[in-house]
Amino acid sequence: MEKSKVYFSKEITAESLIKMYEVLGVDLPEKVGVKVSTGEDGAKGYLKADLIAPLVKKLNGTIIECNTAYPGARNTAEDHIKVAEKHGFTSFADVDIMDANGEFKIPVHNGKHLKYDLIGENFDKYDSILNLAHGKGHMMGGFGANLKNQSIGIASRNGKAYIHSCGHTEDPDLCWEDKHEQIDFIESMAEAAKAVADYLKEKGRPIVYITVANAISLDCDCDAHQGDPVINDIGIFASLDPVANDQAFLDAIWATHEEGTKDIKERIDTRFGRHITEYAESLGFGSTDYELINVD
């Protein structure tokens, strides 16, 4: 079986980001949704406007998001747009909070935990998707990159609660009290990410995956008190396979030998973060076996 191709560049610039998209050889057609985290109010690691705006404008893309399940500044559409504006996203693109007016269910195939995935109603407005992730640590998932961006990121507020509770409740007020094994949450994210990919494939809508590994803190861009980076910037990864892209990001972290490396590795492994790629692969979703192609 042919290995998945993962393209890599150490250069993290707007020009390099466009090059990484182009090297994938897929023209995203018509109405393009760009799934990127607009960052919680108070966070500082989210992908900045000056880095991503040229690519988003080249695609004539719309920034797509869904409301958060946790209490904060992005759990209603009105407040979410205000934060997106504060962080500069509305200056170069329309921002669509996809679950502002509702949600719908898509099937989860062969899942152990989720019976379905619940995503923002407006997701169906887009003919193609760019999953543009920021690679960093995460308090609950261990790390966040393309798979998290496609599962928690595309799920509606209630859908996020459903994933966080491993299929036990859609209630954002109750999901944090749910008792489950941590590894089940990791697997639930993989199941939701695969559900989105399956849905897009069934509809004939292409999706490509890019992860920018910069400002790598222990916590996510959803954390209002996000800390400083613990290791140096790594680069940009791009692939048609999100499992391979996440695996390449993880392998790059493990290849670093910096003072903060032990901290980010501990964050990932205490949350069983690396299990997400092997479990996704076991579902028939992507491959952890990849060929890294340096484009510099």
pLDDT in tens, 75-132: 788 889 999 999 999 999 999 999 999 999 999 999 999 999 999 999 999 999 999 9
Mean pLDDT, to the nearest integer, of 217-222?
90
Tens digits of residue pLDDT in 61-74: 999 999 888 777 78
Q: Which of 194, 157, 154 is nearest to 33 (CA)?
A: 154
The end-to-end CA distance of the chain, in Å, is: 27
Q: Does residue 1 surpass a pLDDT of 70?
A: no
CA–CA dist 43, 210 (Å, integer): 21
Q: Does residue 222 surpass a pLDDT of 90?
A: no
Q: Does residue 52 surpass a pLDDT of 70?
A: yes
Domain count, the chain: 1
Q: What is the mean pLDDT of the chain?
A: 96
- Confidence at residue 136, expressed as pLDDT on a 0 to 100 scale: 97
Kind plus residue range of the DSSP H or E element containing 174: none
Residues above pLDDT 90, as percent of the chain = 91
The sign of the torsion formed by the CA atoms of 241, 270, 192, 160 equals negative
How would you label 167-191 residue by residue, b for 16+ Cβ within 10 Å and e otherwise? bbbbebeebeeeeeebeebbbbbbb
Mean pLDDT, to the nearest integer, of 276-290?
97
Q: For 111, what's the count of Cα atoms within 13 Å in the CB-facing half-sphere?
A: 25
Q: Are 166 and 192 in contact (CB under 8 A)?
A: no
- Confidence at residue 279, expressed as pLDDT on a 0 to 100 scale: 98
Tens digits of residue pLDDT in 144-201: 999 999 999 999 999 999 999 999 999 999 999 999 999 999 999 999 999 999 999 9
Tell which wins on pLDDT, 251 or 220: 251
- Confidence at residue 68, expressed as pLDDT on a 0 to 100 scale: 87
pTM above 0.95?
Answer: yes
Mean pLDDT, to the nearest integer, of 273-278?
98
- Confidence at residue 79, expressed as pLDDT on a 0 to 100 scale: 86
Q: Does residue 216 surpass a pLDDT of 90?
A: yes
Range of the domain at 186: 4-294
Residue 209 maps to which CATH number?
3.40.50
